[in-house]
Amino acid sequence: MSFRAVSTIYKYEMLRTWRTLFQSVASPVLSTSLYFVVFGTAIGSRIQAIEGVSYGLFIVPGLIMLAILTQSIANASFGIFFPKFTGAIYEVMSAPISFFEILLGYVGAAASKSFIIGIIILTTANLFVDIQVAHPIWMLTFLILTCISFSLLGFILGLWAKNFEQLQIVPLLIVTPLVFLGGTFYSVNMLPPIWQTITLFNPVLYLVSGFRWSFFEVSDVHVWLSLAVILSFLATCIAIVWWMFKTGYRLKK
């Protein structure tokens, strides 16, 4: 494996973040802080606690997940779409490097950006509430796996999209609603039985639930089930990317 090739792609993508620092880092952190102020203050004054956890604390893991899911997809999709849009992707593909090395460079950079944003948001949340993480290793595991998995999804979307409009379809019309309906701001146990059953088909629920358990030992589904879902999603995304590179899907056209 060519570590120089991976490092070159990785550094280029990370440097793009520093050139657009406000859009890449400050904007999602500010947006999440506003969510926290609005939901934590307005709704938190009416809901004292959920499963023994104050509402202000309860929504912190969900807000972090909301930020890293959207940022992982946005960073990875734009990172690979723009070279494809300009034609620079052909130079990358003609270089003596494998698809795995290309994947490591682009997805590694996108996941790193999202991870940094997640840590910054977690630090910022401490300004509003006193956060105690019950299982730091589990917290980092879910954070890293989510960043990598959804960066892979963004990479897939970047390869699939033919224009900037298509680049936004899945994040806006599918991912964002799933995040809001996946227990980000509430516990599934608060829903009527029929909606609890429907919500179990939402994959984002398992990510948010497992991540929240690592903080408060409170979850809507078992933590091992959450881990199994994220690992399955990760493996599926890797398989799809491999197939797209092998067949040249949306790359040779």
The count of C-alpha atoms lying within 13 angstroms of the C-alpha of 210, restricted to the half-sphere facing its C-beta, is 25
* 171-193 mean pLDDT: 88
Cα–Cα distance for residue pair 192/200, rounded to 1 Å: 13
Residue 24: the pLDDT is 66
* 94-136 confidence digits (pLDDT tens): 778 887 888 899 999 999 999 999 998 888 888 878 888 999 9
CA geometry: angle 196, 180, 23, nearest 5 deg: 160
Reduced DSSP (H G I as helix, E B as strand, rest coil) percent helix, strand, coil of the chain, to 5:
75, 0, 20
| Model pLDDT, residue 213 | 95
In this prediction, residue 170 carries a pLDDT of 87
Task: Determine the average pLDDT of the residues in 77-106.
Answer: 83
Q: Is the pTM of this model over 0.85?
A: yes
Q: Which of 38-47, 145-154, 190-199 has the lowest mean pLDDT?
A: 38-47
**Residue in the structure block whose two tokens are 């590179």:** 245
The sign one gets for the Cα dihedral 206, 209, 213, 218 is negative
pLDDT score for 108: 94
Give the Cα separation of 109 and 105 in Å (integer).
6
Q: How confident is the model at residue 210 (pLDDT cuts 50, 70, 90)?
A: very high
| Selected residue with higher pLDDT from 8 and 128 | 8
The arithmetic mean of pLDDT across residues 212-224, rounded, is 93
Instruction: Write the pLDDT tens digit of every residue in 39-73.
Output: 766 666 677 778 888 888 888 899 899 889 988 99
> Could you tell me the pLDDT band of residue 29, with boundaries at 50, 70 and 90?
confident
What pLDDT is attached to residue 147?
95
Share of the chain above pLDDT 70, in %: 94
Q: What is the per-residue DSSP string for 125-153?
A: HTTTS----S-HHHHHHHHHHHHHHHHHH
Give the pLDDT confidence score for residue 227 in this predicted structure: 96
**In which element (H, E) is residue 7 found?**
helix 3-19
> Mean pLDDT, to the nearest integer, of 199-207?
92
**What are the domain boundaries of the chain?**
3-247
pLDDT at 21 over 80: no
Give the residue, 240 or 129, on which the prediction is more confident. Answer: 240
The pLDDT of residue 214 is above 60: yes
Tell me what the pLDDT averaged over the chain comes to: 86
pLDDT of residue 23: 66
Say whether pLDDT at 22 is over 90.
no
Instruction: Note the pLDDT of residue 252.
Output: 60
